[in-house]
Structure 1
Amino acid sequence: MSVYTILNLATKPCKNHIHNVSKRSLFHWINKQFNALDEDRKKLVGPDRVCAEWILRNGGKVKFVDAFESETDYNNLPKEEVQVKLQEIDATGSSIMANGFEHLKGCNHISKIILDQCSYLENEALEGLSYVKDSLLFLQVSRCGNITEQGLVHLLKLVKLRTLIIFGLPYLKDRKKMLDVLGKGLKTCQITFEE
């Protein structure tokens, strides 16, 4: 039997058997791998570099302390010997997932994070923001379809937060109540919470 015949048979639907793994679960598995933390690499190059690689690998952009512009290309990162300090993360449209938020651990200079149109982001991911609670000043959570009140309540741990922007979360049941909870818990934070 030729390779072509085997491939052809593998892609034909079977009436009595479960068909191939769906595209969604295949992409989910691939994205999960792209989000996994490599502890050995982190020990080798440091948490800030590994975190930047995670964001860039998943389609976001990063800005380092003292850099003029954000970096969008993984191949343009400084050499591994150069110590970097990650300051900003823009994950707009990226494929970051909850299991990747462990990358934030040890990143002590991140002051700004934008989580916009992150379709794989789920509530437990926001709990991972507590790794940067001592440095994070600005956070935007927008148009992430899987985020609900259960996720937003984790933001109460971000005690240094000064600006919080939230919009486009279709599964929030009670925006006013959530705004009240966040307002009482984050007293020194300016909150913009649009429908």
Structure 2
Amino acid sequence: MSAVFMSLHRCCQRSALLLVARRRWSSSSASPPLHTRLLLYLTQRFYDVEMLLSWRSQLMRNQLQKKNFYYGYTENLYGRDIASAYYILSMRGGFRYVGQSEWFRADWKGKFNWDFLDHKDTPLEEVDMSYTVINYTGLGNLEQQRSLRTLKLQGCPEVNDWFLARLHVFQDSLEELDISHCPHITTGGLAALRNLKGLKRLDVSSLPGISSPGLVVILLEEMLPQCQITATGYDHNLRQVGGDGEEELVQRQR
């Protein structure tokens, strides 16, 4: 909320200055020039809009945090597996229980089948949170799923380097991870995946925060030698120094 208060403080300061300016001109016999009045009007409107945008931004952040809060109450009533399942569906994601072939998913309206409540104390094996707003806080609702084998996070705008660092809790079970098209993942965050020693398939396609994708793929292959890396949507051109000291262009195609 500090950003909102700072914005409000700035707005109040400037509003006071504008008020002083108006009184100065009102006390004078001559009215201010047109360009001065226009400037006063535009300045006032600008800071009104700035404050509204700050409030709107903070409101959106609060709503995001509310969606990702820990479902402790549900866990106390139904157990951790049902709590994880309910969180996923409430975020419009999907999942599959261990030993079950049926997937439970929310539709585009956010509605879902409540039959998932019939599988109490059944852990989750596959989770698809693609294009949801799951974040670092929300990941806490899945941490107890130690049988989680597949996690899809394609196109998640809130998945970042801190999020990836927290995935170490699945190091004993996770085999497939899709973090493609996540805009806030950087090379530093990918280094945290070295903890996932059991990973067999990793999709890091189209990550705009990766500056040297070809080199990153090489490093991932060294960190996770048993893992199949998928990295499409990049220009994998790397410059390497040849034996004669000249740079040679190496093309890596995947």
Say which of 80, 85, 91 aligns to 1:58: 91
Conserved? CA contact 2:93–2:132, under 8 Å: yes
Q: Which residue of 2 aligns with 1:101?
A: 139
Conserved in 2, the CA contact under 8 Å of 1:133 and 1:160?
yes
CA distance in 1, matches of 2:206, 2:57: 23
Q: 1:164 Cα shift?
A: 0.8
1:173 partnered with 2:173:
no
Q: Residues 64-120 of structure 1, C-alpha deviation per residue, up to 9 Å, x if partnerless?
A: 112222111345242277222111111111111111111222211110011111112
Q: How does 1:151-162 map to 2 (within 5 A)?
A: 151-162=189-200
Alignment check: 8 A CA contact 1:104 1:131 kept: no
State yes or no: 1:134 paired with 2:167.
no
Number of paired residues? 182
- For residues 17-166 of structure 1, the aligned pairs below 5 Å read 19-20=51-52, 21-73=54-106, 74-79=112-117, 82-166=120-204
| Structure number with higher helix proportion | 2
Unaligned runs of 5+ in 1: 1-13
TM-score, normalization by structure 2: 0.65
2:229 aligned residue (183, 191, 195): 191
Displacement, 1:22? Answer: 4.4
* Counterparts in 2 of 1:189 and 1:114: CA distance versus 1, 3 Å: same
Percent identity, aligned pairs only, is 24
Of residues 20-29 and 46-55 in structure 1, the stretch that sits farther from structure 2 once superposed is 20-29
Name which of structure 1's ranges 171-180 and 152-161 shifts more when overlaid on structure 2: 171-180
1:15-43 superposed Cα distances (whole Å, 9 cap, x missing partner): 45652344343222211111111334334
- 8 Å contact 1:104–1:132 — kept in the other structure? no
Shift in CA distance, 150/47, structure 1 to aligned 2, threshold 3 Å: farther
Deviations along 1:44-63, one digit per CA (max 9) or x if unpaired, are 43332222222221121111
CA contact (8 A) 1:47 1:105 kept: no
Shift of 1:160: 0.7
Give the counterpart letter for 1:123 in structure 2. Answer: D
Specify the code of the residue in structure 1 equivalent to 2:221. G
